[in-house]
Chains A and B, each alone.
Chain A
């Protein structure tokens, strides 16, 4: 199982939010490049970078920092937050992003989803941000009028996506442990490779998740627990196997 450190950017700084709420943000570093270098040096194989300003406004705002990070490290990057058109996806892949994370537009616009699946295949990944078993878009604010979670997963399967990201938004930033029950259910119903995030708090959480590796759990994104020093990345990597 891959351990994937998260770098969430807001106004250029590395922050963590509580359940996605901007008013509950905490700055962990003013130097995102240094943070990225640190995670790579500790053994990260993939970084998950989120443009929070992009997620809330629909336009990525932290691209120059992203570019600085790409140039500074030798490690693939997954990037999301406010990416809502083909042009931006192309631009990001051209910049050297390994994989573009899509949410809002991919969930709300079926035709767009079909187009990106065809054009970019595994270079895009859809993030299922879930609030009380319902999909959430627009910076996790909107839950009404969206497809049902299970219907949407089926849609992704039919479009030949090979993996998805699942975030329990009510767990995110809480350090209350991941939603293992729901993770198991999604693994079972989707048969897709899964990257999960939200709520990781301890090495025990990682051990519990690592048992799901055989069932298709490919990676786990960790934010606050690493920034709060609950454990080190090296410790997590060791337990993840």
Chain B
């Protein structure tokens, strides 16, 4: 059973549709007990880091997600969901993240014509060929982004793919049983389907 965590931060429906399109049943849940029953967890989200963390704390999901990952559960964070796995974000300096990935989430600098948010299609530079999430994905493959912040992991070894937008930033992260993508696989057509399918097959 695939659990999609719904903590009031949008875009659940498109994620659910994309996963059901690759033939997997999903449930959408927002309580810590849902995580205890889950075989796979998708942690999506769009919006503000601080609001999201407040919701996660309030509902007890923050602790439940941390426990789930520590017990070896497979989790895929998407966009804000991935960013929340970090220790902190420039979006809200006083709010701590989940701290599963060491490092910070940074804001794209506003300079010489760089479009922010970074919105639309962009390419993956594959750094780790053995990342199971990227199995069957060609270098240069196109995925769909929509974000103003990007992850900057302390341990560069968890970067499985990067993307160029004014600078190279980490667009796929992989640390053991925990995966994160900055783009939206649910909006990334065939490449997104392969990536979701890779995660669900793990």
Contacts and interface: CB of A to CB of B under 8 A. Distances in A.
Given A75-B189, A119-B113, A2 B140 contact: yes
A45 B164 contact: no
A45 B141 contact: yes
Given A218-B139, A240-B138, A241-B138, A98 B112 contact: no
Nearest to A163: B140
Interface in A119-136: 119-122
A1 B141 CA distance: 9
Contacts, number: 40
Interface core residue of A96, A121, A213 (most chain B CB under 10 Å): A121
Nearest to A76: B121
Contacts of B166: 121
A219 interface: yes
A182 interface: no
Contacts of A162: 164
B33 interface: no
B18 interface: no
B187 to A, nearest CB: 8
B150 to A, nearest CB: 16
Contacts of B141: 2, 45
Nearest to B114: A121
A46 interface: yes
B138 A76 contact: no
A224 B199 CA distance: 37
A105 interface: no
B113 A45 contact: no
B191 interface: yes
A98 B140 CA distance: 13
Interface core residue of B141, B142, B191 (most chain A CB under 10 Å): B142
A157 interface: no
B120 interface: yes
Contacts of B121: 75-76, 98
A193 B140 contact: yes
Q: List the 4 shortest-distance A-B pairs measured between CB atoms, nearest first.
A: A76-B121, A218-B140, A45-B142, A43-B190
Given A74-B189, A75-B142, 13 more contacts: A43-B190, A45-B141, A45-B189, A45-B190, A45-B191, A46-B142, A76-B121, A98-B120, A98-B121, A119-B112, A193-B139, A218-B139, A241-B138
Interface of B: 112-113, 120-121, 136, 138-142, 164, 166, 189-191
10 contacts: A40-B189, A43-B190, A45-B141, A46-B142, A75-B142, A75-B189, A76-B120, A118-B112, A193-B140, A219-B140
Interface of A: 1-2, 40, 43, 45-46, 74-76, 96, 98, 118-122, 162, 193, 213, 218-219, 240-241
